């Protein structure tokens, strides 16, 4: 089990004074699905990017914490008691990824010349390596034992301790792609290059399935999807939770995806704050009535 | 990073390039360019008179020609003092023609090439390997199966003696005459070593032929000449690798490459060059392509203080095809000025130019290209694509694609992109677990992928590794 906790998060754009977040509080546990809803410009995407460590934003107040439990990353990695809570704001984006945080992008980058297989295997191995470094007890004086003797065939690459080799990885990738109903040819294509909007979204979910995060923040993963693709993506999200126990923070404008991915909690964001939380029925109310009633309710009581 | 790359990455590329050996010379010319120096070279090689005459004529042309100075954005050559360059060093080895048994090489030379990975490369299915140290080829080996088919791969000096008819006809006559430019003239006067490749009609050499050039001494010039003659219907892939350690004084590399692609023949010429940051790399490389012939240039230009290099194809016969794929990398204090030239002199000719450049820490890359389509070269087509990637705001990149189109029934396309390594791209990869450095390396590796794809795996790995080292700033 892991818990992502946003406490009183205030943030502005790094180059400028525009304050975007005015005290966001949120908690997501692994195994849960939370929906974060709100009109455009309310700070949803900013929140997700800050969790992942995007350099365009500067946190002016508050914390983003991740709490881990013993055995969070399997038996191989021992998490000492004093290393079970991390302030993500002090960490690089890749270190956050190693601690089990995943951001599904609304507009993922297209990287020419880098195949999906190569990228995902590299990412997976980088995460394993970073994790070992983060939880190492300061012992073994920085032993970067560069392995000079490739133990396996060149096709396998030098599978260092804990690293996943090529053929093992290919099996994993094939399996996950099958689950998401993705064509095998995607494995050889360049990362997001020339992918349709729907394919990109599917690819984000695939990456989460491969990297097995504890918490995944999915930024408008439903935008631009036709109904078939929406179902595929939704199935993928559900199995992230059901099969891997990932906690999901689903950012969305619409009720639509929530018909397929049923949230445990729904949070409404207005003007850089979470102003109201409730169960799945809250999303249905939004669908019927829009955001105005929330605004009225919040600002009248305030 | 593919697994093959991971696998081969383990060898320490940095150490491989940065070591230097004590100078070993049997004959070393004086500095500068005089008839005396040229005669010394010719005497030492015991050359026929016709070659000596060609050298002396080239020398006169050299003195009569000005240095290029006023090209827009041209690399600064003012620090290059050719009079201070030692143009000829014959290493002190027992056999003048080079040995064909690796073990016969003196230990320090053997060690040099072993560190550079030359014997390893040979074990990996090459048709033949040549290795030049300073001005002379010290090792040359051609697999018997190719010799039996009449394929010749030998050092250029030897070819002057053993195949005078072929050399006399092709050597700096129609392809790269010394009058072409000042450095071609210089090359014609003091050239030494290099490779001669001859492929008889309809013979396909399936495995690449490789030559490696190493400059070890301070303040020297290396002027190897490569002459490739591919008879009709033949096919060959020639690969060249070059390097030099860094010294206080400037080195000069001014090679000459001439390729004759006869009817229906196919030649690929690949080069991965990694000169030290004080080397001036000023070359002339050209191919003449007859009807239905194909010429492919693949080059990775790394290192050097300044490079001026524009491989050229003259598409002379109907249906001739040219492909250029080039990559340049410029770091601090470097100016890599490279590109391609293609002359479409016949109908139905086709050319494709793909140029990629990377600059960082104030480095400068230029793409300088010329595509000329002559009147009458109808139904010809050309496509030029230049992409520049910059790491920071201090680096620069210019694209100068000249097109001279004299025929109306042609298809011409040009596309250029210039971009800074995108912060969003880096963040995306970081969010997946790659650190900042690895994210940048992955983006660059992807950027040059079209080049590495064309190269045999050892070279592709080498090129990737070199670029990684450049990005870490760890090559001197």
A76 alpha-carbon distance from chain centroid = 23
| Residues of chain A found within 8 Å of residue B429, distances taken between Cβ atoms | 109, 111, 119, 123
- Average confidence (pLDDT) over B237-250: 78
Q: What is the mean pLDDT of residues A289-302?
A: 83
- Residue B283 has what pLDDT? 93
DSSP 3-state assignment of B53? helix
Q: Which of A98, A113, A150 sits opposite B446 (nearest CB)?
A: A113
CA distance B15 to chain A (A): 14
pLDDT in tens, B260-285: 999 999 999 998 888 888 889 999 99
Interchain pair A158, B10: CB under 8 A: yes
Tell me: pLDDT of B104 over 70: yes
Q: What pLDDT shows up at residue B15?
A: 61
| B6, B425, B445 ranked by CB distance to A109: nearest | B425
pLDDT band at B413 (very low <50, low <70, confident <90, very high): very high
A165–B3 C-beta distance less than 8 A: yes
Is the pLDDT assigned to residue B426 strictly greater than 90? yes
Cβ <8 Å between A94 and B3: no
Q: How much is the CA Rg of chain B, to the nearest whole Å?
A: 21
Work out the mean pLDDT of chain B and round it to a whole number. 87
Element (H, E) at B354: strand B350-359
Per-residue confidence at A148, pLDDT binned at 50, 70, 90? Answer: very low
- Which pLDDT value is given to residue A242? 94
Helix axes A166-179, A116-135, angle to 10 degrees: 110
Take residue B215 and report the two structure tokens written for it.
């400059």
Residue A99: is its pLDDT beyond 90?
Answer: yes
The pLDDT of B83-110, averaged and rounded, is 79
* Cα gap A259→A247, rounded to integer Å: 18
Instruction: Please tell me which residue of chain A has the smallest CA distance to B7.
Output: A157
User: What's the pLDDT at A105?
Assistant: 96
Cα–Cα distance for residue pair B104/B32, rounded to 1 Å = 33
Count Cβ atoms within 10 A of the Cβ of residue B154 and give its class: 0-12 exposed, 13-18 middle, 19 or more buried.
Answer: buried
> Which tens digits make up the pLDDT trace of A50-65?
999 999 999 999 999 9
Of residues B422 and B295, which shows the higher confidence score? B295
| H or E stretch covering B403 | strand B396-405
Instruction: Check residue B16 and give its pLDDT.
Output: 59
Helices within B93-163 (DSSP H only): 107-115, 118-123, 144-148, 156-162
Most confident of A248-252, A295-299, B145-149: A248-252
- The verdict on a CB contact (< 8 Å) between B3 and A150 is no
Query: Cβ contact (<8 Å) for A113 and B447?
Result: yes
Residue B295 pLDDT level (bands cut at 50, 70, 90) = very high
What is the band of A138 on the pLDDT scale with cuts at 50, 70, 90?
A: low
CB-based contact, B438 to chain A, within 8 Å: yes
Interface test with A, best of B7, B10, B430, B449 (most A CBs within 10 A): B430
Cα nearest neighbour of A189 on chain B = B446
Q: What is the structure's pLDDT at A155?
A: 39
**A207 or B96, which is more confident:** A207
Confirm or reject contact between A216 and chain B (CB < 8 A): no
Would you place residue B17 in the very low, low, confident or very high pLDDT band (cuts 50, 70, 90)?
low
Mean pLDDT of B191-201: 94
What would the DSSP string read from start to end of B310-343?
A: --EEEE-STT-EEEEEEEEEE-TT-EEEEEEEEE
How far away is chain B from the Cα of A139, in angstroms, using its nearest Cα? 22
CB–CB contact A114 B442 (8 Å):
yes
Q: What are residue B309's phi and psi, to 5 degrees?
A: -155, 120
Q: A23-48, pLDDT tens digit by residue? A: 999 999 999 999 999 998 999 999 99
Q: Does A126 touch chain B (CB under 8 A)?
A: yes
Interface test with chain A among B431, B456, B464, by most A beta carbons within 10 Å: B431
C-beta atoms of B434 and A150 within 8 A = no
pLDDT (0 to 100) of residue B473: 61
Task: Quote the ipTM score.
Answer: 0.92
Kindly state the average pLDDT of the residues B399-424: 89
| Residue B319 falls in which region: left (phi positive, over 0), alpha (psi -120 to 50) or beta | left
Give the CA angle between residues A59, A64, A65 to the nearest 5°. Answer: 155
Q: Are strands B225-230 and B195-199 parallel, antiparallel or unpaired?
A: parallel
Task: Label residue B232 left, alpha or beta by phi (over 0 means left) and psi (-120 to 50 means alpha).
Answer: beta
B412 alpha carbon, distance to own chain's centre: 27
Distance (Å, whole) CA B372 – CA B375: 10
B54: part of which helix (H) or strand (E)?
Answer: helix B49-64
Which pLDDT tens digit goes with each residue over B43-56? 999 999 999 999 99
Contacts of B438 in chain A (CB under 8 A): 122, 126
pLDDT value, residue B455: 76
Question: CA–CA separation, B210 vs B462, rounded Å?
Answer: 14
Backbone angles phi, psi at B124, to 5 degrees: -90, 65
> Which residue of A lies nearest to B422 if distances are taken between CA atoms?
A109
Lowest mean pLDDT among A54-63, A232-241, A285-294, B135-144: B135-144
C-alpha distances in Å from residue B65, one per residue of B60, B68, B312: 9, 9, 21
State whether the Cα torsion B24-B27-B28-B33 is positive or negative: negative
CA B177 from centre of chain: 18
Q: Give the pLDDT band (50/70/90) at residue A153.
A: very low
Inter-chain CB proximity A146 and B424 less than 8 Å = no
Chain B residues whose CB is inside 8 A of the A207 CB are 432
Distances (CA, A) of B122 to A101, A150, B462: 47, 20, 15
Q: pLDDT, tens digit, for every residue of A165-178?
A: 888 899 999 999 98
Whether residues A155 and B3 touch (CB distance < 8 A) is answered with yes
Whether residues A122 and B1 touch (CB distance < 8 A) is answered with yes
CA distance B254 to chain A (A): 33
Q: Is the pLDDT of residue B41 over 70?
A: yes
B36, burial (CB in 10 Å: exposed 0-12, middle 13-18, buried 19+): exposed
Of the pLDDT bands very low, low, confident and very high (cuts 50, 70, 90), residue B123 is: low
pLDDT tens for residues A211-250? 999 999 999 998 888 888 899 899 999 999 999 999 999 9
Is B1 touching A (CB cutoff 8 A)? yes
For residue B291, name the pLDDT band (cuts at 50, 70, 90).
Answer: very high
Residue of A nearest to B1 (CA): A118
Q: Å from A283 to nearest chain B CA?
A: 29
- CB of A190 less than 8 A from some CB of B: yes
Whether the CB of B423 is below 8 Å from some CB of chain A: the reply is yes
Predicted confidence (pLDDT) at residue B440 exceeds the cutoff of 50:
yes
Cβ of B454 under 8 Å from any chain A Cβ?
Answer: no
The mean pLDDT value for B153-159 works out to 91
User: What is the C-alpha separation between B151 and B146, in angstroms, rounded?
Assistant: 5
Q: Picking from A138-152, A216-230, B74-88, B432-446, which range would have the lowest pLDDT averaged per residue?
A: A138-152
Interface test with A, best of B1, B2, B3, B11 (most A CBs within 10 A): B3
Radius of gyration for chain A, computed over Cα atoms and rounded to the nearest angstrom = 20
Q: Which two tokens stand for residue B336?
A: 């890599």
* Range B110-116, long-range pairs (CB < 8 A, 24+ positions): B111/B21, B112/B19, B112/B21, B112/B214, B112/B216, B113/B139, B113/B212, B113/B214, B115/B15, B115/B16, B115/B19, B116/B16, B116/B17, B116/B212, B116/B214, B116/B241, B116/B243
Average pLDDT on A255-280 reads 93
- For residue B467, pLDDT beyond 60: yes
- What is the pLDDT, as a whole number, of residue B9? 44
What pLDDT, on a 0 to 100 scale, did the predictor assign at position B247? 67
Asked if residue A18 has pLDDT above 80, the reply is yes
Interface of A with B in 138-177 (CB under 8 A): 146-148, 150, 154-158, 165-166
Q: Categorise residue B278: left if φ over 0, alpha if ψ from -120 to 50, beta otherwise.
A: alpha
Contacts of B450 in chain A (CB under 8 A): 113
Which residues in A lie closer than 8 A to residue B446 (C-beta atoms)? Answer: 111-114, 190-191
Q: How far is the C-alpha of A32 from the C-alpha of B59, rounded, in Å? A: 81
Residues B51, B42: Cα–Cα separation, whole Å: 8
* pLDDT at residue B4, rounded to an integer: 42
Is pLDDT of A161 > 70?
no
CB count, 10 Å around CB of B400?
15
The C-alpha atoms of residue B76 and residue B89 are separated, in whole angstroms, by 27
Check residue B92 and report its DSSP letter: -
| Mean pLDDT over the full length of chain A | 88
Q: Which residues have CB under 8 Å from B455's CB, separation 6+?
A: B239, B270, B272, B298, B300, B463
- Mutation target vs B (from A109, A187, A216; most B CBs, 10 A cutoff): A109
């Amino acid at each position: 089990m892991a818990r992502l906790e946003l406490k009183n998060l205030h943030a502005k754009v790094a180059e400028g004074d525009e304050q975007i977040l005015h005290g966001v509080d949120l908690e997501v546990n692994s195994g849960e699905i939370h929906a974060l809803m709100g009109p455009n410009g309310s700070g949803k995407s900013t929140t997700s990017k800050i969790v992942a460590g995007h350099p365009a934003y500067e946190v002016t107040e508050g914390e983003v914490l991740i709490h881990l439990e013993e055995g969070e990353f399997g038996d191989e990695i021992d998490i000492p008691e004093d290393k079970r809570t991390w302030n993500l704001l002090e960490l690089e984006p890749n270190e956050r990824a190693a601690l089990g945080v995943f951001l599904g992008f609304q507009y993922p980058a297209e990287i020419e010349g880098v195949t999906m297989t190569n990228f995902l295997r590299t990412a997976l191995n980088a995460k394993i390596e970073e994790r070992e470094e983060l939880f190492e007890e300061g012992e073994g004086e920085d032993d970067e034992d560069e392995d000079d003797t490739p133990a396996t065939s060149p096709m396998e690459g030098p599978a260092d301790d804990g690293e996943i080799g090529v053929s093992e990885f290919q099996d994993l990738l094939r399996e996950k792609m099958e689950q998401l109903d993705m064509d095998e040819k995607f494995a050889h294509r360049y990362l997001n290059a020339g992918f349709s909007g729907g394919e990109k979204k599917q690819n984000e979910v695939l990456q989460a399935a491969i990297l097995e995060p504890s918490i995944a923040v999915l930024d408008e993963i439903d935008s631009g999807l036709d109904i078939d693709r929406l179902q595929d993506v939704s199935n993928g999200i559900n199995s992230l939770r059901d099969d891997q126990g990932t906690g999901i923070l689903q950012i969305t404008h619409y009720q639509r995806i929530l018909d397929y991915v049923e949230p445990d909690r729904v949070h409404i964001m207005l003007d850089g704050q979470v102003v109201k939380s409730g169960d799945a029925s809250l999303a249905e109310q939004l669908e019927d009535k829009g955001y105005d009633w929330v605004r009225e309710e919040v600002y009248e009581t305030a | 990073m593919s697994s093959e790359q991971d696998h081969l990455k383990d060898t320490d590329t940095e150490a491989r390039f940065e070591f230097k050996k004590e100078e070993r010379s049997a004959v070393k010319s004086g500095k500068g360019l005089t008839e005396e120096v040229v005669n010394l070279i010719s005497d030492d090689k015991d050359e026929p008179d016709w070659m000596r005459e060609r050298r002396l004529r080239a020398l006169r042309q050299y003195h009569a020609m000005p240095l290029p100075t006023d090209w827009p954005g041209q690399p600064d050559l003012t620090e290059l003092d050719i009079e201070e360059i030692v143009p000829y060093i014959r290493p002190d080895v027992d056999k003048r023609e080079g040995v064909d048994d690796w073990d016969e090489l003196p230990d320090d030379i053997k060690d040099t090439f072993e560190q550079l990975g030359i014997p390893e490369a040979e074990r990996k299915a090459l048709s033949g390997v040549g290795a030049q140290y300073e001005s002379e080829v010290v090792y040359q080996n051609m697999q018997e199966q190719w010799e039996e088919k009449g394929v010749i791969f030998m050092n250029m000096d030897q070819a002057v003696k053993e195949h005078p008819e072929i050399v006399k006809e092709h050597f700096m006559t129609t392809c790269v005459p010394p009058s072409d430019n000042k450095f071609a003239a210089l090359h014609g006067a003091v050239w030494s070593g290099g490779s001669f490749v001859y492929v008889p009609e309809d013979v396909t050499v399936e495995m690449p032929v490789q030559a490696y050039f190493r400059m070890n001494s301070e303040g020297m010039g290396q002027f190897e000449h490569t002459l490739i003659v591919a008879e009709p219907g033949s096919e060959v892939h020639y690969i060249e690798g070059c390097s030099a350690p860094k010294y206080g004084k400037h080195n000069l590399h001014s090679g000459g490459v001439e390729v004759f692609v006869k009817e229906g023949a196919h030649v690929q010429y690949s080069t991965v060059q990694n000169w030290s940051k004080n080397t001036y790399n000023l070359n002339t490389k050209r191919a003449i392509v007859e009807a239905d012939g194909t010429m492919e240039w693949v080059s990775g230009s790394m290192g050097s203080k300044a490079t001026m290099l524009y491989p050229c194809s003259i598409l002379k016969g109907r249906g001739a095809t040219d492909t250029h794929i080039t990559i340049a990398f410029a770091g601090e204090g470097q100016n890599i000025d490279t590109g391609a030239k293609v002359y479409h002199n016949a109908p139905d000719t086709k050319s494709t130019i793909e140029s990629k450049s990377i600059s960082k820490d104030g480095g400068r890359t230029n793409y300088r290209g010329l595509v000329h389509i002559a009147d009458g070269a109808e139904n010809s087509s050309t496509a030029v694509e230049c992409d520049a990637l910059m790491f920071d705001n201090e680096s620069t990149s210019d694209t100068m694609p000249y097109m001279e189109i004299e025929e109306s029934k042609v298809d011409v396309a040009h596309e250029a992109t210039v971009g800074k390594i995108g912060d969003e791209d880096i963040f995306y990869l970081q969010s997946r677990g790659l650190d900042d450095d690895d994210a940048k390396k992955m983006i660059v590796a992807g950027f040059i992928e079209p080049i590495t794809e064309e190269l045999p795996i050892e070279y592709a790995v080498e090129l990737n590794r070199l670029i990684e080292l450049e990005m870490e700033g760890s090559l001197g």
